[in-house]
Structure 1
Amino acid sequence: MSARSDNAVVIIGSGPGIGSNTAAVFAANKFNKVALVARNPTQLEKDATFVTTASNGNATVKTYSTDVLDPAKFTTTLAQISKDLGTVEFVLFNAAIVAESSHQEVSDDELLRDFKISTIALNNLSKWAFPQLIALASSDASAKPTVIVTSSHLPEAPETNLVSLSMSKAAQKNFTRTLRKVYEPKGVHVAILTVAGYVTETNKYLNPRNIAEQAWNLYSQPKESWTEDIRIEEP
């Protein structure tokens, strides 16, 4: 196991699946500071217990109940994370609402909601995260400043019953690739974790623990071998 980091891991979109499992893997392997961000405070407390147990009590885990759809509240939350935990080294953007929508029936509000989560919230996060990640890259050669965005099969294979999410996920993937072009030359690894299918505990590959391990593998890559996208799917 690597020496424990005094930097923070931040999970935007915690929950009982990918979010909390990723936090648990990072807390068990290296990080001693974890921020879990989601809307549901009750679930957040369950996630915090799960992550704390995974770290054998060696990580400080703090929860932040907020709605990324509200830019002012989200920005305030991010500022509080900086105040509480200091410099961030790893960020997972995993926020999404999976709700059925079909053409002709999908409303403007549904479309706007999903775009606000997938792109506007990610943009607000990036304005907070990248300045400190760039600074960390230049000041600490042992650090691995990383932003991972959870994607899916939808940008390449949209589903007719997930019209709104398919559209917003395509925009998000394009935006993430733009961020990669801007910030990787400045020392920040920007990657896409493509979860190509539906996640269940019983899947061989598309299960939360394996997906979290793949996020750790992306983070752990040496700079000369940085990968833009890891795709996880069932055979």
Structure 2
Amino acid sequence: MSGKVAIIFGVGAVQGLGAALARKFAKEGMNVLLAGRTQEKLDKAAESITEGGGKAATAIADVTRPDEVARAFDAAEKLGELEAVLYNAGNNAIIPFMELTPERFEEFWRVGCLGGFHVGQEAVRRLLPRGHGSILFTGASGSLRGKANFAHFASAKAALRNMVQSMAREFGPQGLHIGHVVIDGVINGEMARSRFQAYLDKLGDDGALEPDAIAEAFWALHEQPRSAWTHELDLRPFKENW
């Protein structure tokens, strides 16, 4: 393959945000490398792209392991010239603070923040010599505030946000567009449908964020001219209480 390439970390179910990001960037003509932890899910997501005429490849990668992250980048660069890196890996759960174990707390930090560090550092290493490219990170409501029973999640997402700000201030003037997208609301993807269908029904029409709509915003960030870059963008349903 040849052409411009996007690599998306944190691709899971076809109905999830990671797969939607990959479909959007492929639809716009980019070759995409889908990175995640489950080959079956990656294959289904890639198939949804190739069936539409796009070009996609996959790589198993645990974002907490820098060697696996580097191998995924190697696979992406075989598809063409790397132009966009998207970090969408994350996990969430309702856990009361006094029920948190040190191991569980660290698990959320490793995926929510440390993985972003590994991907961000490898992305800069490969994009900076060319002086252009986008590195975009998925944030959440917890990036901005800590709610009860979400100390583990909010602390990891807030750390990621501050790290991304530091990256933007250091590498933006060197030509890299580094952005952070705050997802303020429930995503209408497979995870929410399988766990919280009653809650989604209660929200009603357009009460949850649609993965494909979020993907449109990521693409808009990637396409921005550098005379008017956005670093942070927040997205929420029109009826979300914020």
Q: Which band: TM-score by shorter chain?
A: 0.7 to 0.9
Q: Is the 8 A contact 1:87 1:132 kept in 2?
A: no
- In structure 2, the residue matched to 1:113 is 107
CA distance in 1, matches of 2:130, 2:206: 37
Higher mean C-alpha displacement, 94-103 vs 119-128: 119-128
Write out the 4+ residue segments of structure 1 that deviate beyond 6 Å after TM superposition.
none
Q: Is the 8 A contact 2:49 2:55 kept in 1?
A: no
Of the three residues 224, 232, 236, the one matched with 1:233 is 236
Of the three residues 122, 141, 144, the one matched with 1:156 is 144
Deviation (angstroms), 1:179: 0.5
SS in 1 for 2:63: coil
Deviation (angstroms), 1:89: 0.5
Could you tell me which runs of 5 or more consecutive residues in structure 2 were left unpaired when the two chains were aligned.
Answer: 190-204
Q: Is the 8 A contact 2:91 2:112 kept in 1?
A: no
Counterpart check, 1:170 vs 2:158? yes
- In structure 2, the residue matched to 1:103 is 97
CA distance in 2, matches of 1:8, 1:230: 23
Q: Is the 8 A contact 1:152 1:195 kept in 2?
A: yes
Scaled by the length of structure 2, the TM-score of the pair is 0.84
- In structure 2, the residue matched to 1:126 is 120
Deviation (angstroms), 1:64: 0.9
- Give CA-to-partner distance per residue, 1:31-68, whole Å, 9 cap, x none: 1x210001111111110011223xx42x3311112222
- In structure 2, the residue matched to 1:64 is 59
Identity %: 24
Q: Is the 8 A contact 2:63 2:119 kept in 1?
A: no
Distance of aligned partners of 1:228 and 1:65 in 2 relative to their CA distance in 1, 3 Å threshold:
same
- In structure 2, the residue matched to 1:89 is 83
Deviation (angstroms), 1:154: 0.8
CA distance in 1, matches of 2:151, 2:162: 17
Q: Which amino acid aligns with 1:171?
A: A
Deviation (angstroms), 1:86: 4.2
For residues 212-227 of structure 1, the aligned pairs below 5 Å read: 212-227=215-230
- Give CA-to-partner distance per residue, 1:187-208, whole Å, 9 cap, x none: 0100111110111165367110
Scaled by the length of structure 1, the TM-score of the pair is 0.87
SS in 1 for 2:209: coil
Q: Which amino acid aligns with 1:67?
A: D
Counterpart check, 1:75 vs 2:70? yes
Deviation (angstroms), 1:127: 2.4
Deviation (angstroms), 1:69: 2.5
Higher mean C-alpha displacement, 98-107 vs 176-185: 98-107
Of the three residues 111, 115, 133, the one matched with 1:145 is 133
Counterpart check, 1:40 vs 2:38? yes
CA distance in 2, matches of 1:110, 1:166: 13
CA distance in 2, matches of 1:100, 1:74: 28
- Give CA-to-partner distance per residue, 1:154-210, whole Å, 9 cap, x none: 122322222211110010000000000011000010011111011116536711011
Q: Is the 8 A contact 1:205 1:232 kept in 2?
A: no
Q: Is the 8 A contact 1:89 1:136 kept in 2?
A: no
RMSD, aligned CA: 1.8
